[in-house]
Structure 1
Amino acid sequence: MDYGLIATLFVIGFIGSFISGLVGIGGSIIKYPMLLYIPPALGFAAYTAHEVAGISAVQVFFATLSGVLALRNEKVMNYKLVAYMGVAIIIGSFAGGYGGKFLSGETISFVYAVLATIAAAMMFVPKKGLDDVPLEQVDFNRTIATVSALVVGVASGIVGAAGAFILVPIMLLILKIPTRMTIASSLAITFLSSIGSTAGKVMAGDVLFWPSAIMVIASVLAAPAGAKLGTRVNTKVLQGILAVLILGTALKIWFEIATK
């Protein structure tokens, strides 16, 4: 493998994983378009949409695992929420991860763009008083949490993303979970989701070993640092970063679809 490509993949993995830990997402919202467009733009061989989805799925697994371990002593994780949404999303993501092999690259990109657009719209809805509730008093609707996680799991499994980029807006806006608890819990839920989507992509033969290994190394280094920083940054700043990232990615993917 070319050293320039190795460096490129490492930087993509590091940036995506740092943001993953910072705002409680798997990082595919960043890494999917970067993996799809940056290597060929720099003169390296292009990866197909299926290969990018496979690499992303494996990388998300290790990024979220590293982030969860970094936050295990911070006491901001809602384990009941993780249990309800985690079980539902792992079932859905496995089905979507394996079923994605029967879809075209254009369809995968379309699903990704739709998810990102919905998530972006939700992030710009005001969330007044969200972070005023003490963490130990937080409650949520179990049925809505389970059903939403199942649906998101199927759709996100198709693109090799763990789904946190749309679960986070759902947790903030619909379930009314405080920001820091949302970030920590979504990392754990995303880790569970990534088990299903990773297994599905491996079974489908979409995972390239060396690119995935390079991205995993970057994940283990970057995700814990981002997770630790996320517990100290102002919650409005965290919400703003996530909203901008999701909106920018949605616009980029729609532009690419429209110009093909």
Structure 2
Amino acid sequence: MGFSLLVVMFLIGFIGSFFSGLLGIGGAIINFPLLLYVPEWVGVGQFTPKEVSSISMFQVFFASLAGVLSFRKQSKIGKTVVHKGLVTIMGVSILSGSLIGGLGSKFLPSDTINIVYGVLAVLAVIMMLIPSGGTKEDIDVKQVAFSKSIAGISAFLVGIISGIVGAGGAFILIPIMLTVLKIPTRITIASSLAIVFASAMGGIIGKLAAGHIPFWPTVFTVVGSLIGAALGSRVSGLLNVKFLRFSLAILISLTAIKIWISILG
């Protein structure tokens, strides 16, 4: 294993996790295709989809942790708010689901994991295109109301699939929070990272049991993630809400296109 591969892994972790902190995602929606294709493109190495899903899950865990800690600091000065009730309900549900999905991933072939990831990305794009009419962006977090049953069930199902894929699930969870639960964008972004952190805990346990974890590439990806996520979350508080939502839609769309080109090709 060469030094060049470790540098590439660090950069992938940094880039993916910058957007993790910026947009409230775990980073897997970016890192999965980057990990799958970039090392081979630049001639430094190659990973199987199962290895990529394992590296990605560890990246998501540490990126979401760094993002949550950064958002907590910002919330103390009134820049952003985490909805504790939403995080508790969806966090417990997604953790339970991701444990099941992570353990079950070892029974699935790599091609199936890729297809599941591609289908999820398409569903996320469709949901992001649905107008979020009726959502009030400037209300206090204590005034935010949502269906607890829908929140819990949807998070559990997302957890199962994200555990299989090796993602935190935010790329599908955020569209659900925005379009179905009608949660304001900034509260969604801040809260989703905490929910993704819970999902990643379950996913890591599953991946450790299933194996397929390249140690040093994972370590360097995680180091890049810790730096990138903290920086991204700081930048997020400075950007316009509409720009953040538009960026999410574009990001998920590009990833969906790339994954399906790979599958069909």
TM-score tier, shorter chain, comes to over 0.9
> 2:91 corresponds to which residue?
86
| Structure 1 segment 11-50 matched on structure 2, within 5 A | 11-50=11-50
Displacement of 1:45 in angstroms is 2.4
Instruction: Describe the superposition over 1:156-209 as per-residue Cα deviations: whole angstroms up to 9, x where unpaired.
Output: 110100100000000000001000100010000000000001110111012211
Displacement of 1:43 in angstroms is 1.3
> 1:225 corresponds to which residue?
231
Is 1:98 the counterpart of 2:103? The answer is yes
Displacement of 1:44 in angstroms is 2.3
Partners of 1:8 and 1:74 lie apart in 2 by: 31
Partners of 1:220 and 1:132 lie apart in 2 by: 30
Is 1:51 the counterpart of 2:51? The answer is yes
Check the 8 A contact 2:23/2:244 in 1, yes or no. yes
> 1:124 corresponds to which residue?
129
> 2:144 corresponds to which residue?
138
Partners of 2:45 and 2:225 lie apart in 1 by: 22
Q: 2:159 aligns with which of 144, 153, 157?
A: 153
Q: Structure 1: which amino acid aligns with 2:232?
A: G
Check the 8 A contact 2:57/2:166 in 1, yes or no. yes
Check the 8 A contact 2:87/2:192 in 1, yes or no. yes
Partner of 2:146, secondary structure, is coil
Is 1:111 the counterpart of 2:104? The answer is no
> 1:212 corresponds to which residue?
218
Q: Structure 2: which amino acid aligns with 1:152?
A: V
Partners of 1:133 and 1:126 lie apart in 2 by: 19
> 2:252 corresponds to which residue?
246
TM-score normalized by the length of structure 1: 0.97
Instruction: Describe the superposition over 1:39-89 as per-residue Cα deviations: whole angstroms up to 9, x where unpaired.
Output: 111112210000000000011100000000001133300000000000000
**Number of equivalenced pairs:** 259
Partners of 1:79 and 1:132 lie apart in 2 by: 18
Is 1:72 the counterpart of 2:72? The answer is yes
Of 250-259 and 19-28, more deviation after overlay is shown by: 250-259
Q: What's the Cα RMSD here? A: 1.0
Partners of 2:215 and 2:187 lie apart in 1 by: 34
> 2:10 corresponds to which residue?
10
Unaligned runs of 5+ in 1: none
Check the 8 A contact 2:90/2:155 in 1, yes or no. yes
Partners of 2:258 and 2:89 lie apart in 1 by: 33
Percent identity between the two aligned chains: 51
Displacement of 1:129 in angstroms is 4.9
Q: Structure 1: which amino acid aligns with 2:68?
A: V
Partners of 2:191 and 2:212 lie apart in 1 by: 28
Unaligned runs of 5+ in 2: 76-80
Runs of 4+ deviating beyond 3 Å = none
Displacement of 1:7 in angstroms is 1.5
